[in-house]
Amino acid sequence: MNEELCEILYDVTGDALEKLAFMFSQRDNAVSSHEADGVVALVTFEGPATGQVVAVAEKTTLQELTGNMMGIDNGDISWEDQKDALKETVNILCGNLLPRIFGSDAIFSIQAPTVITTSELNALCAMHQPSAIVRLNLDEGYWTVYYFQNS
């Protein structure tokens, strides 16, 4: 695990959650590359390097994320909107992470984010060792963010 990449991943994720949804986080050093629970969104990038950024959000955090982003009460939030908020967030993480790692001159193609199962994430972890993982504690639960650089 590359600690410098983990620091960047934590910075980018904390900043995004704060600006998007006023959600404040603390880094938790207890991370594992095997997820048992949570809603998972993945985005794939291609360019000077290829890989994926994956966010695993405890379901309890998604209502707050979505409600704060949209400016609506938690009770009125659909599951579709919660998944959309998570996908948009992982897209933002990827878009902010890559220039921090490769510089702003690098041109990447970022594919549309998708929601995947924890089994699919665990299969990805079995195929590719994550280059960085960070776990963040939020008021409503945890997030784990993975950065895979496959080539």
At closest approach, how far in Å is the CB of 17 from other proteins?
A: 8
Identify residues 83-142 at the interface with other proteins (CB under 8 A): 84-85, 87-88, 91-92, 94-96, 98-99, 104-108, 110, 112
Name which position in 15, 35, 120, 140 contacts other proteins (CB under 8 A): 15
Report the chain's terminal Cα–Cα distance, integer Å.
16
Output the six-digit token pair for 102.
């490769």
For other proteins, the closer CB: 125 or 138: 138
Instruction: Please name the amino acid found at residue 150.
Output: N
Read off φ and ψ for residue 146, nearest 5 degrees. -115, 140
Helices of type H across the chain: 3-21, 59-70, 79-102, 118-127
Identify residues 48-87 at the interface with other proteins (CB under 8 A): 66, 69-72, 81, 84-85, 87
CA Rg value for the chain:
14
Instruction: Please name the amino acid found at residue 28.
Output: D
Instruction: Please name the amino acid found at residue 64.
Output: E
At closest approach, how far in Å is the CB of 96 from other proteins?
A: 7
At closest approach, how far in Å is the CB of 100 from other proteins?
A: 8
Q: Which residues bind other proteins (CB under 8 A)?
A: 15-16, 19-20, 66, 69-72, 81, 84-85, 87-88, 91-92, 94-96, 98-99, 104-108, 110, 112
